[in-house]
Structure 1
Amino acid sequence: MDAVPMALVTLLMALAFSAVHLFVGRLRFLDATPRSRWLSFSGGVAVGYVFLHVMPELAAHAGTFRQATGLDEAAAEATVYVLALIGLALFYGVERAIVASRGGRQTQENPQSRTFWLHIGASALLVGIIAYLLNNREDTGWIGLALFFGAMMLHFVTADFGARSDHAQIYDARGRWVLAAATMAGWAAGLLLDLPELAIGGLFAFVGGGIILLVMKEELPEERRSRFLPFALGAALYALLVVGELIVRQSS
């Protein structure tokens, strides 16, 4: 791809991510019980992305880890998946801190400010990495970029809606701006900072673990009254798109 058009396209994508952070509160149709079909659909797409794109790429990056560290094949693979586990564990810890700050109540009454900023800080790290990967992905094709963008766009809708549900006032006042700024900073870093392939693999692993936890956190609790069929439809549709991409790539 030519560098200039690619940078412009990824800039527009980063701006679209930022728009989700800034305006998710205006998507009133998402605030419904039972859970909005669109949120469950978005969660299914995000999980599909993790299992059909991130996980296979992690297996491929294990070779890079083996060459860079001198570890044997099994140890290199374990290292990659440990990074994914770290991403999952970090966001699990943040979610547990949020529940503890409410005394176990599933409401947003009197959330502690420091807990909110812990949540936003971890989320800003994740969105910054995702924006960085817009310009530094293993798959540099247009179709692969479009699938990455679509999956992450829907993931941000789900994750930001959940964050705002926990801390609506402070999210609207300050949190959304922090996430938007982190997104644009990550995009800019992707243009200016060329990390080694070993680091890119680590970032992919961390993102995969974080997304798995965030999607499961939004879909599994009983009080969410989540919808299985839209979730399954999102995952299946994304799987079909991935298969279609592979067919197109092999035939070209």
Structure 2
Amino acid sequence: MAYVFVHLLPELARGQEVMDGSDIALLGYLEHHAYLLALLGLAAFYGLERLIKRHRDELPEHEESHAGVFWLHMTAFAIYNGLIGYLLVHGENGNLSSLILYCVAMGLHFLVNDFALQSDHKDLFRRRGRWLLAVMPLAGWAVGNATEVSELAISALTAFVGGSIILNVLKEELPEERKSRFGAFLIGSVGYSILLLSFQSG
């Protein structure tokens, strides 16, 4: 949560500045391009999660997901993980400290997502899905090292992924049904915010 509010949202604002300076005609008709792309990313993953939840609710308790539903979910998260790996190279991680903080935040985020996907798809995820999702950040990083795209494209990708991250953070890291503790949340949020702010000002 600290990463989202202290780093990601300001990055969306910087992306908006890049898009405001673009001479692409379509962007001229939209006032808040980066935020609309973030909303699109959030909406896409929300729609997918509602579809998966509806399917899961129709299954008997210990039955695995149907293959089509499983692979749809894995494909979406594979692209998501790949884009996060890609932005490791091209995102706003100009120095070693911000790169380390990005890797720590996204590594923990992947861990929480994997736990939720394991709960959704049981053995099917353990046998197949987790290996695909584990390799995708590396694949995204490799593609990022091999390709060069415009600052506008990076801003658009960051905004879309940012919206997806916001949804997944809220959905998985602050769930109503789990026993969570406000004290642990507060310590984690304040501590990581201090780390982010100290490295940004350093």
Q: Which residue of structure 2 lines up, in the alignment, with residue 90 of structure 1?
A: 44
Q: Which of 197, 200, 203 matches 2:154?
A: 200
TM-score by structure 1 length? 0.73
Deviation at 1:60, TM superposition (A): 1.1
Query: Which deviates more, 165-174 or 98-107?
Result: 98-107
Q: Distance in 2 between matches of 1:197 and 1:101?
A: 39
TM-score by structure 2 length? 0.90
Which residues of structure 2 form unaligned runs of 5+? Answer: none
Query: Which deviates more, 101-110 or 221-230?
Result: 101-110
Q: Equivalent residues in 2 for 1:5-154 (5 A)? A: 47-68=1-22, 69=24, 75-76=30-31, 78-103=32-57, 109-154=63-108
CA contact (8 A) 2:112 2:173 kept: no
Read off the aligned partner of 2:13 and give its amino acid letter. A
Q: Distance in 2 between matches of 1:150 and 1:102?
A: 31
Q: Distance in 2 between matches of 1:193 and 1:149?
A: 21
Q: Which residue of structure 2 lines up, in the alignment, with residue 32 of structure 1?
A: none
Query: Matched residue of 1:123: which SS?
Result: helix
Q: Distance in 1 between matches of 2:191 and 2:118?
A: 27
Q: Distance in 1 between matches of 2:126 and 2:88?
A: 26
Query: Matched residue of 2:157: which SS?
Result: helix
Change (3 A) 1:162 1:201: same
Query: Matched residue of 1:222: which SS?
Result: coil
RMSD over aligned CA atoms reads 2.1
Q: Are 2:99 and 1:161 equivalent residues in the alignment?
A: no
Deviation at 1:105, TM superposition (A): 7.2
Q: Distance in 2 between matches of 1:86 and 1:228?
A: 30
Percentage identity across paired residues of the two chains: 44
Q: Equivalent residues in 2 for 1:168-179 (5 A)? A: 168-179=122-133
Which residues of structure 1 form unaligned runs of 5+? Answer: 1-46
Query: Which deviates more, 173-182 or 108-117?
Result: 108-117
